[in-house]
Structure 1
Amino acid sequence: MNIEIAAGTFSAMGSEARLEVLRLLIRAGEAGLTVGEIQERSGIAPSTLAHHLKFLAAGNVVTQEKQGRSTITRANFDHLQRIANYILCECCADEPQRAANDG
């Protein structure tokens, strides 16, 4: 993952409301939620929710699929795993290594 994609992803998640929506979708699992279900569970006004979902989709954090008259929104678990790996991949790389016989 390059830094531009990572920055776009973090930007997409950059509000309390969007993080709340994302957490709802993560809790829902692969089945996802309809926009109505997200609105009901979050209490976010429909027009505001549409705005937040647009940001999340643009950041590849969620996917949306039209099913009849409903739109199912799902967390993009593959991308979320990649972004977690990206941010943690160099964890502790600069930490001094202890010698095997240090006590």
Structure 2
Amino acid sequence: MVVLSNIDIEEAAQGFAAMGSEARLQVLQTLVRAGRAGLTVGDIQERCGMPASTLAHHLKFLASAGLIEQEKDGRSVISRAAFDHLEALAGYILNECCTDESKDDK
């Protein structure tokens, strides 16, 4: 499990903002479904049905937010979901779950 304190509010906001577009969320979901092996840019483009230039823009945005990792493999670039970071983001937003309920009981 990822330590939740590694993410501050600025980093969390950047991650959630990167997921804030339907197209980027579609790309991210495609990479999550692909698992740890990841996909080539061509495979992502085929599965998402978006133009290469548009996809390149979204991949750059997701990578700068730390939501995906990219690795050169010969002439291809493999993109993978950054599962640890995604888990940390989910933990960040859920960490405060129900803390106000205990205050209401008093």
Between structures 1 and 2, the one with greater helix share: 2
1:26 matched to which residue of 2? 32
Deviation above 6 Å: which 4+ runs of structure 1?
none
C-alpha deviation, 1:95, in angstroms = 1.1
Unpaired runs of 5+ in structure 1?
none
1:53 matched to which residue of 2? 59
CA separation in 1, counterparts of 2:79 and 2:25? 14
CA 1:98–1:3 in 2, change beyond 3 Å: closer, same or farther? closer
**CA RMSD in angstroms, aligned pairs only:** 1.4
TM-score by length of 2: 0.89
CA separation in 1, counterparts of 2:72 and 2:91? 30
Unpaired runs of 5+ in structure 2?
1-6
Aligned residues: 99
Asked which structure has the greater CA Rg, the reply is 1
Percent of counterpart pairs with the same letter?
64
CA separation in 2, counterparts of 1:70 and 1:31? 13
**1:83 lines up with 2:92 in the alignment:** no
SS in 2 for 1:95: helix
1:28-83 CA deviation, whole Å, 9 max, x = no partner?
00000000000000001000000000000000000000000000000000000000
CA separation in 1, counterparts of 2:20 and 2:75? 30
* Higher RCO structure, 1 or 2 (CA under 8 Å, sep 6+): 2
CA 1:58–1:98 in 2, change beyond 3 Å: closer, same or farther? closer
